[in-house]
Amino acid sequence: MGRYIFRRILSLIPVLIGVSFLVFIIMHLAPGDPAEIILGPKATTEALAELRSQLGLDLPWYVQYLRWIGKVFVGDWGRSIQLKREVLPLILDRFGATAILALGSMLFAVIFGLIAGIVSAIKQYTFWDRLLMLIALVGFCLPVFWLGIILQIIFGLKLGVLPVSGMHSPGGSGFLDMLRYLILPSLALAAGSSAVIARMTRSSILEVIRHDYIRTAKAKGLPKKIVIYKHALKNALIPVLTVTGLQVGYVLAGAVLVEIVFGWPGIGTLMVNGILARDFPLVQGIILLVASSYVLVNLIVDILYAFVDPRISYK
């Protein structure tokens, strides 16, 4: 098991280098000149040329990439053009809020998705099966920002039971205070992922219960719940884990829209403001951090495979 985890961690190195290269190329090809943005439209040609030389923008792209990635490894992610602050501490200040929102959303998605998928599989072709799969289909189709606004209107404006914007009440702090503000954005963000997990759980369980060892368990006279929860569910979880890991990317991408709708102070609003201001170092840093987080989450999912199915660690 230890060797398997070590090999998987080593395999991350080329992946992360590839991610950093793609991020740099995308930002390098984006329109706009950082020197013109910093000095403004009235800057002289000489001043622009001098600043480009100071920033290294007149160097070949591969030299710029090597200089940038070298600084990234030592914690120097550049300086925000718009906010005049170091990029890394600026992102880390906001990343905690986004991580809380993503964690809350995945928690909702996994709980609702697993329960709906298991119930739907047990009640196959019944009213509950069709109802839960219809809800899952609707949840998957609804745009995140639209669902967020609907939840704000129903639970915030009509019923008045939950706050509609922000992360804490005025003058408030603490986990319980934040929890009230977290529910609506998490639900809006979890709807699509929950639907995917529910449908995958249902199909995976239905496939597993057709195997011979499940028939043997049933032939022994074991109750249906024991057969499902003790024998079928563990093997059915492997594809569900795969889908859950992939949904982390969907949640991180969707967090940008949800943070804007709910006024959640994460990196989503920071990135939108950075894009509008053409703040290349800031946007580049946020994309790199989000992409790296997604890669690390998938590493965790791969390690969980080995715990769910020990045969994987020997391959």
Query: What is the model's pLDDT at position 313?
Result: 57
Q: Are residues 65 and 156 in the same domain?
A: no
For residue 99, give the 3-state DSSP assignment.
Answer: helix
CB 144 within 8 A of CB 257: yes
One domain for residues 48 and 147: no
Mean pLDDT, consecutive 10-residue stretches, the chain (315 aa), reads 77 84 82 74 81 80 88 86 86 90 92 91 89 89 89 91 87 83 92 91 87 82 78 80 81 83 87 81 86 83 73 57
**Which two three-digit tokens encode residue 307?**
């715990």
Looking at 37, 62, 87, the residue that finishes a domain is 87
Last residue of a domain, one of 50, 67, 87: 87
The structural domain count of the chain equals 2
Per-state percent for the chain, helix, strand, coil, to nearest 5: 80, 0, 20
- pLDDT of 310 reads 63
Q: Is 43 in the same domain as 134?
A: no
Quick check: 256 and 97 in contact, CB under 8 A?
no
Same domain, 140 and 190: yes
Q: Do 186 and 256 sit in the same domain of this protein?
A: yes
Side-chain half-sphere CA neighbours of 20 within 13 A: 18
Side chain identity at residue 226, one-letter code? I
**Same domain for 149 and 259?**
yes
Question: What integer pLDDT is reported at residue 44 of this predicted model?
Answer: 82
- As a whole number of angstroms, the longest Cα–Cα distance in the chain is 86
Coil, helix or strand at residue 159: coil
Tokens describing residue 39: 């000095």
Same-domain status, 242 and 281: yes
80 and 133, same structural domain?
Answer: no
Looking at this protein, which amino acid is placed at residue 158?
Answer: K
d(CA 253, CA 274): 16
Q: To which residue do tokens 């793609």 refer?
A: 22
Q: State which residues form the domain around 182.
A: 91-312
What tokens appear for 209 in the block? 């219960």
Report field, pTM of the whole predicted structure over 0.75? yes
Q: Are residues 39 and 108 in the same domain?
A: no
Same domain flag for 160 and 232: yes
Q: What pLDDT score was predicted for residue 2? A: 73
Whichever domain contains 238, its CATH number is: 1.10.3720.10
